[in-house]
Amino acid sequence: MRYKPIDNTLFKKNRVNLASLLKPESVAVFHSSDLYPRNGDQYFKYRQQSDLFYLTGIEQEKTILMIAPGFHNEKFREALFILKPEPKLEKWEGHKLTIEEAREISGIENVFFEEDFEVSLREVLLDSKRIYLNTNEYVKFTPEVKDRNQRKALELKEKYPLHKYERVAPLMKQLRQIKSEEEVDIIRKACEITGKAFEKVLENIEPGMKEYEVEAIITGEFLRHGSSGHGYDPIVASGFNACMLHYTDNDNECKDGDMVLMDIGAEYANYTADMTRTIPVNGKFTERQRECYNAVLDIFKAAREMLVPGNTIDKVNKAVNKLMEKKMIELGLFTEKEVENQNPDNPLYFKYFMHGVSHPLGLDVHDVGSKYEPFKPGMVVTCEPGLYIEEENIGIRIENDILITEDGPVDLMINIPIEVDEIEFAMKHR
């Protein structure tokens, strides 16, 4: 692994917390991610299913976790099943975990090979009433391809139709939203690496570069500092491209006089950072660019102060929309009179700012959580207002990662350049 080993007490605590939420006479089953085919005989780079990693720390394919807290046979109350290492397989694909290694990483004493799972599960199920199954419950995400957890859930329902089935996703959402100190430290490291990459861009970007050359600088720094790479597809959008929210082609020229928007996040130990910065390609903001940038920065600072216990993302969004509307009037994008006469179902600000200002962050860039869930200490969320003026080739977004605490918001990216003068100084003295 590229990161420092994580003390398995983290995963032990996570499993204990989950077990405490399960109903009596229950078993919960978690499957690892699939190896997804890329093309020909190639697979995409493997990334573990987030819930399974949260509970075990295991990053290997064909891994299964079974939790049955009240089962009479102690060895199956908490059992891990892993791929059996075979010399031929390891010759071609590299080292596979031994039982001892899996035990050390996860803190699970009872580790078996995957081939023993079905008979072990049957023993537990015939003495259990409920089966907790893990499925993807992200509101805006409905992939056409069924993952391993979905497929195995359908198989179980066919084999054991008389059991009661429960959703484990709401329980995992409840647990994963509140980050432990260990998790916050890992996210801090991901943020630190992301900041180093941004500073390297400030030192090297120049007019005429391709967006993918900027991406290459970022990727190189991520890998050099122990990250596994990007936590999501990086956005390097210059000029008009910055007005497209999820532009990832990254193949145009960064032209003199334009700005470039970079939405990037290093993944470290499977936790990701999420940062956006917008900078002038030539190192100097024009008067209009500076005016628009500082408007967004003002909103960012105001929104950040709203990230406190008891507030919600939904409420923050509504407050920021009002602030943004005032800034847009100041920038001359429309008038107060036009606002008075606007269609309330299609407000004028929406043309220039059309996305939410925050989302949960953690093992996934859009982590588990809800925009209606009140903030609690230990949550980590983004703060990311933006302004997109297509007519002027101006697309600006500023984004940092914020830890919610009883004492107010803690900006995990506070040391990464964000002010106009900081950015211009760094680019001038390269």
Give per-residue pLDDT as tens, 122-162: 999 999 999 999 998 888 888 888 999 999 999 999 999 99
Task: Give the mean pLDDT of 87-93.
Answer: 89
State pLDDT tens for residues 274-309: 999 999 999 999 999 999 999 999 999 999 999 999
Over residues 99-105, mean pLDDT: 98
Kindly tell me if the per-residue pLDDT of 430 is higher than 80: no
- Is 355 in contact with 386 (CB distance < 8 Å)? yes
The single residue of 2, 38, 246, 430 carrying the catalytic annotation is: 246
Task: Quickly state the pLDDT bin for 57 (edges 50, 70, 90).
Answer: very high
Q: Name all domains of the chain by residue range, CATH numbers in brackets.
A: 9-176 (3.40.350.10), 181-428 (3.90.230.10)
Does the active-site annotation cover 225?
A: no
**Which secondary structure element, helix H or strand E, spans residue 80, and what is its range?**
strand 78-82
Please state, in angstroms and as integers, the Cα–Cα distance from residue 395 to each residue in 22, 258, 261, 278, 398, following that order. 47, 10, 7, 8, 10
CB neighbourhood size of 378 (10 A): 17
Check: CB of residue 317 under 8 Å from CB of residue 358. yes
Return the ∠ at Cα 32 (arms to 29 and 34), rounded to 5°.
Answer: 135
User: Of the residues 59, 78, 367, 399, which is catalytic?
Assistant: 399
* pTM summary value: 0.96
Judged by DSSP in three states, 310 sits in coil
230 is catalytic: no
384 catalytic per annotation: yes
Q: For position 275, what pLDDT does the model report?
A: 98
- State mean pLDDT over 15-33: 98
pLDDT at 36: 94
Would you state the pLDDT for residue 139? 83
* Active-site option among 77, 271, 359, 401: 359
d(CA 358, CA 275): 12
Strands of 136-251 (E only): list them: 164-167, 229-230, 235-238
Task: State the pLDDT confidence band at 58, using cuts at 50, 70 and 90.
Answer: very high
pLDDT of residue 141: 83
Picking from 417, 149, 174, the residue whose alpha carbon sits closest to that of residue 277 is 417
198-208 pLDDT tens trace: 999 999 999 99
Strand partners, 268: 271
pLDDT higher than threshold 90 for residue 89: no
How are beta strands 394-397 and 410-411 bridged, if at all? unpaired
Instruction: Reply yes or no on whether 127 is catalytic.
Output: no
Active site residue 41: yes
pLDDT of residue 100: 98
Catalytic (active site) residue 355: yes
